[in-house]
Structure 1
Amino acid sequence: MADPLVQFVVLRKDLLTALRWPWGALVAQVMHATSAVSWKFCYDPITDHFEEHSTPEDIRVLQIDDEESLRALSAKLTESSLHHVLWNEQPEDIPTCIATRPAERNVAEKFFQGLQEFTREDGPS
């Protein structure tokens, strides 16, 4: 691989701050999205390589403001052919999280500029 691989996970911050979802539910959204993208691309050689050689530093968990922003990011990724899964919590069908297929850092990172790491700040303790 010419450039290091990275996986981006983007979670809605308003689930914590405005909607006051518990931390366990937020962790579940990240797990659902990353599992779904791993399954969807399980036969992809890039995914294979990433799963075999990645470290925790190769996965970035970022925050985005709300559902509208998450949907807009998903549309932008789709338009640019950056493979990803937009996870919808069921049975409510609420979009909560995006997980990308692992991609070369120099290709993927431009789509996530301006997004910050997901933190506990501003949320319930």
Structure 2
Amino acid sequence: MGIQSTTWVSFCLSVSAAAFRCPCSISQSLLIKHNSNPPTWALNRSLSRLNPSSMSQPLSASASASDSTPLASPEDVDKTQSFDVLVQYVVLRRDLIDTWPLGSVVTQGCHASVSAIWSNKEDPHTLEYCNPDNIDSMHKVTLEVKGETQILNLSEKLTAGGIAHKLWIEQPENFPTCLATKPYPKSVVSSYFKRLKLCK
């Protein structure tokens, strides 16, 4: 063998002897004969191969976890489904709330809500929303805008987005008082109303 090969053999034998604590006169004599140091990568590689504990270690936790993906529980499925509930949005005018009798404002909201549902009575979401199994658990969100200009702008925005709704025009005064959407999954329409305040 050449000097480099002999050095490499002596290094491996010495590391092996140290790792397993086996006295070996050959490795010591060879190591004394040549004092050149092995490369760093060789040291790391040899130690990882000769470490007895590494041979008996199980797979890492991350590897084991990646091999088995837990199935979603029925509770998780129910939470996901309940998050995207069917909801009807009703929007009233704040200026009318402050100046009209409360009953009159509530009546306007009822007009818009019933009209929006009846106008879309064949819609699948409306049918589900009004299904006898769901009739006692309806979801409505009642919001407010400042006045007439804002209710008209909101109606235009909903129309441009293809959101079915009813802008209620009170007669004989002939001015808009409120609006209501047909029932929608919340995820479909919530973005149109995220800047509006809850009606209080």
**TM-score band, normalised by the shorter chain?**
0.7 to 0.9
TM-score (norm 2): 0.55
How many aligned positions are there? 115
Matches within 5 A, 1:26-65: 26-52=105-131, 53=134, 55-56=137-138, 58-65=139-146
Q: Does 1:71 align with 2:152?
A: yes
Between the aligned residues of both structures, percent identity stands at: 38
2:126 aligns to what SS in structure 1? helix
Shift of 1:78: 0.1
Which sections of structure 1, spanning at least 5 residues, go unmatched?
120-125
Shift of 1:59: 0.3
Q: Does 1:9 align with 2:90?
A: yes
Residue-by-residue CA offset, 1:87-110 (whole Å, 9 max, x unaligned):
011111110111001111111000
Structure with bigger gyration radius: 2
Which residue, out of 193, 196, 200, partners 1:112? 193
2:196 aligns to what SS in structure 1? coil
Shift of 1:51: 1.5
The answer to which structure has the higher strand fraction is 1
Which sections of structure 2, spanning at least 5 residues, go unmatched?
1-80
* Matched residue type, 2:113: T
**What RMSD, in angstroms, separates the aligned Cα atoms of the two structures?**
1.2
* Higher RCO, Cα 8 Å, sep 6+: 1
